[in-house]
Chain A
């Protein structure tokens, strides 16, 4: 399972990098979303998959899945959500002001 997940992470990172390099503002945002998915899965995989019970003491199991990466990922998901929401509104506002979402046309003027 770990091998499969690692390969999945590789695909997610590749695709998101490709999206980041495109000219469309929306694809860049989609790339960021995918990149955070990739990072979360990578984290979880590194801690080991399917080892022990969920990290709830009420289960009274002999061993539990590592709770620390889960806590970190939880924080990352929430932050990622905030960032994505902000980027979306930023894209919306940029489009309203400049009437384009093409990053090639959105570069600054030559004297900046």
Chain B
């Protein structure tokens, strides 16, 4: 175990201590937790290469080495970028949560921090592992933690709905991803991403499993990263406390899908399917998210759809950039994707926190009730201004730089010479431009509806005032980063962006990273100016837009598919269950017997096991004929007896004849036991029958009676066949019974002459002990059944 292993496990270990730290009630539990992500972040900083090229670190701990499952840590540029995001934003979020969630008496802070730490560890595990199975385990853990955090205020119906939805959608994707991983294993013979990459670097892409594996893995990535049409879970996940939304549902977890796509670009990149699927899903998500954001009235919902749209943007860039395996024109798209990933984490994180502050201080997030907060909350206003300007893509903030690079990326993609891009490529910049206009519009909505206009204190639950410094601290840090990265973007380019780009495109030795504010009057600049002009135009005419039917509904229409599907699933499974679980004992016995008959006869035919041998039989004395025939006769008569005493006598006769047969077949102990048990049993039957009603004639429909008859005869026949075959094989195949051991060792080892008794109490003593236990439990049950008094109205 290396330090990096402990780095992944540290949050889990910390989580164990949280419930104990929660006992110290006068200190907010968050203060104890805060130290951990901070230490991890500072530790990870040392891996940033300054002036040298990044050397990946690999540490392997075997887990199940026989099937190639190892807990192997692989830290390269891409992992480092994500690990820094997870721990860095994590620190700020924990700090923010200390002030956001007050340390009230009944506030389950211990749950909150345990889930949060669980998520942090799992997410670090996803981005630092090299082994696909380990990634999958951590991947599902992040889904679980996310679901638990969404349902943190589980008394709210909407929280539970959102938690269930995110769980169902992301875990379904995770399962698909696992299947994809297994297909990769079948092809490459390894679960290690390193080895899979080097395998696919050598062979031609002609494997029939290649495309299915790609589709399944993409399903996992798309569900996690809220790509259209799986994005519907993200707006409902906004029921989580705002620190969680800022952390999981904007900065880190939803980027796990992005990570996965980036990670697998060296494997699948360069194929037309990978290029077209990712690019088109990304672009559709981009435009759908930005258009949907415009019609929201809840600030957090605007941010949720904005996140969806931005994730689509990064996804589309990764798709376009995957072409750079064939055409180096597309490299800029990858650089833009990485750069925008960092910028999005900073400005969206600060905006989520700001919205949390507005919610915290005014009691609402509804833009119809808010307004005029500029003068009342000046610090919050400043932070929002920076965040929103960056999100809208205005200079000099970092969002402007990556938006320009995004435009460069889509414009370069139109000149791609591969994948028959041709004239179709013109779609990329058009979609990007339209989506950017809507992005600009919702930025304007967020800004003007919240901070300008008339202050309406009568609509607010609380008297609005500026937030305490603790709440403001984290968004201030993020907003400063927005400004710093905006002014000095090149501090990132060779420390973070280049190593990450090298992990995505391993063959690039020295990528050309060109982040400048001023490129001269080129197409990108005119696109930005166009976005601003048209955005303002749309915003001014927003009233008219809002009268269109599309804008009347806030909920995404795709939710109907999910809700209907879920209802159908529940009612469908109920119907299937009710069909088979009739509540009648007979039906269950029918299932079991029919299944046994079918399974056994299938096995007989499958292995050709049927055998008959009528030699090697012992002779039958005449008195045995009589006994056996009486036994058979008594047995057959039982179902026809309508009188209960006669039935008992019949069963008693059978029992005593069986005892007699035991005597004949050299089994004195059995005979003794059987006699004893049979006597007691008859007495028991009589006792019970005293209380029970008379047997009645069975009133089955003729069809039922016939089925019962056929099943019983089938059961008897199959047992008879088994017995015949076993009997024949015993002699023909010369099996030696294992009993010789007991015959030889009864005396020397156990000191007993009666072999059956020796086996029971000595060789198989533990079995007998448990048998006594069974009897004891049965006895207790009997006593309880007789003595237990049930009060009126109580269920049994």
Residues of A near any B CB (own CB < 8 A): 1-15, 17-24, 26-28, 30, 33-34, 37-38, 40-42, 44-58, 64-68, 70-71, 73-75, 77-86, 88-93, 95-97, 100-104, 107-108, 112
Q: Is B638 an interface residue (CB 8 A)?
A: yes
Q: Is B179 an interface residue (CB 8 A)?
A: no
Closest 3 CB pairs of A and B: A14-B716, A107-B583, A10-B720
In the complex, the answer to whether A12 meets B666 with C-beta atoms within 8 Å is no
Chain A residues, Cβ within 8 Å of B614: 3
Chain B residues, Cβ within 8 Å of A54: 666-668
Taken together as a complex, chains A and B put the C-alpha atoms of A17 and B743 apart, in Å, by: 37
- Give chain B interface residues in 695-751, CB to chain A under 8 Å: 695-696, 698-700, 708-709, 711-713, 715-717, 719-720, 723-724, 726-727, 730, 737-739, 742-743, 746-747
Apart from A10-B717, A48-B730, A92-B692, list 5 A-B contacts with CB within 8 A: A1-B618, A15-B712, A68-B738, A70-B667, A92-B785
Using CB atoms, name the residue of chain A closest to B664.
Answer: A50
- In the complex, what's the smallest C-beta–C-beta distance from B151 to chain A, in angstroms? 27
In the complex, the answer to whether A57 meets B617 with C-beta atoms within 8 Å is no
Size category, B interface? 35 or more
7 residue pairs of the A-B complex, CB under 8 angstroms, read A2-B618, A2-B727, A37-B654, A55-B754, A67-B739, A70-B667, A81-B681
- In the complex, what's the smallest C-beta–C-beta distance from B638 to chain A, in angstroms? 6
Evaluate whether A88 and B760 lie within 8 angstroms (CB atoms) in the complex, with A46-B726, A57-B747, A75-B768 already known: no
- In the complex, what's the smallest C-beta–C-beta distance from B733 to chain A, in angstroms? 14
Q: Which of A15, A52, A58, A71 contacts B753 (CB 8 A)?
A: A58
Taken together as a complex, chains A and B put the C-alpha atoms of A58 and B689 apart, in Å, by: 44
In the complex, the answer to whether B778 meets A15 with C-beta atoms within 8 Å is no
Using CB atoms, name the residue of chain B closest to A10.
Answer: B720
Taken together as a complex, chains A and B put the C-alpha atoms of A17 and B759 apart, in Å, by: 32
Taken together as a complex, chains A and B put the C-alpha atoms of A46 and B725 apart, in Å, by: 10
Using CB atoms, name the residue of chain A closest to B723.
Answer: A6
In the complex, the answer to whether B620 meets A17 with C-beta atoms within 8 Å is no
In the complex, the answer to whether B739 meets A68 with C-beta atoms within 8 Å is yes
In the complex, the answer to whether B712 meets A52 with C-beta atoms within 8 Å is no
- In the complex, what's the smallest C-beta–C-beta distance from A9 to chain B, in angstroms? 6
Taken together as a complex, chains A and B put the C-alpha atoms of A11 and B657 apart, in Å, by: 15
Taken together as a complex, chains A and B put the C-alpha atoms of A50 and B662 apart, in Å, by: 10
Q: Mark B755-778, 1 if CB is under 8 A from A, else 0.
A: 110011000100110010011001
Taken together as a complex, chains A and B put the C-alpha atoms of A11 and B654 apart, in Å, by: 12
Q: Which of A27, A49, A70, A92 contacts B691 (CB 8 A)?
A: A92
Chain B residues, Cβ within 8 Å of A47: 737
Residues of B near any A CB (own CB < 8 A): 582-586, 589-590, 593, 614, 616-620, 624-625, 628, 631-632, 635-636, 638-639, 644, 647, 651, 654-655, 658, 661-662, 664-670, 673-674, 677, 680-681, 684-685, 688-689, 691-693, 695-696, 698-700, 708-709, 711-713, 715-717, 719-720, 723-724, 726-727, 730, 737-739, 742-743, 746-747, 752-756, 759-760, 764, 767-768, 771, 774-775, 778-779, 781-782, 785-786, 790, 796
Q: Which of B616, B655, B712, B753 contacts A18 (CB 8 A)?
A: B712
Interface of A is mostly: helix
Chain A residues, Cβ within 8 Å of B638: 15, 19, 30, 34
Taken together as a complex, chains A and B put the C-alpha atoms of A49 and B651 apart, in Å, by: 24
Chain A residues, Cβ within 8 Å of B680: 81
Q: B586, B655, B755: which has the most chain A beta carbons within 10 Å?
A: B755
Evaluate whether A26 and B778 lie within 8 angstroms (CB atoms) in the complex, with A38-B719, A44-B665 already known: no
Chain A residues, Cβ within 8 Å of B767: 75
Chain A residues, Cβ within 8 Å of B617: 1-3
In the complex, the answer to whether A108 meets B583 with C-beta atoms within 8 Å is yes
Using CB atoms, name the residue of chain A closest to B722.
Answer: A42
- In the complex, what's the smallest C-beta–C-beta distance from B260 to chain A, in angstroms? 44
Chain B residues, Cβ within 8 Å of A4: 620, 624-625, 628
Using CB atoms, name the residue of chain A closest to B716.
Answer: A14
Q: A41, A83, A88, A97: which has the most chain B beta carbons within 10 Å?
A: A88
Chain B residues, Cβ within 8 Å of A48: 730
Using CB atoms, name the residue of chain A closest to B635.
Answer: A15
- In the complex, what's the smallest C-beta–C-beta distance from B270 to chain A, in angstroms? 58
In the complex, the answer to whether A85 meets B778 with C-beta atoms within 8 Å is yes
In the complex, the answer to whether B585 meets A103 with C-beta atoms within 8 Å is yes
Evaluate whether A21 and B712 lie within 8 angstroms (CB atoms) in the complex, with A65-B667, A67-B742, A107-B583 already known: yes
In the complex, the answer to whether B662 meets A44 with C-beta atoms within 8 Å is yes
Using CB atoms, name the residue of chain B closest to A48.
Answer: B730
Evaluate whether A37 and B658 lie within 8 angstroms (CB atoms) in the complex, with A19-B638, A68-B759 already known: yes
- In the complex, what's the smallest C-beta–C-beta distance from A34 to chain B, in angstroms? 7
Chain B residues, Cβ within 8 Å of A30: 638, 647, 651
Chain A residues, Cβ within 8 Å of B619: 1
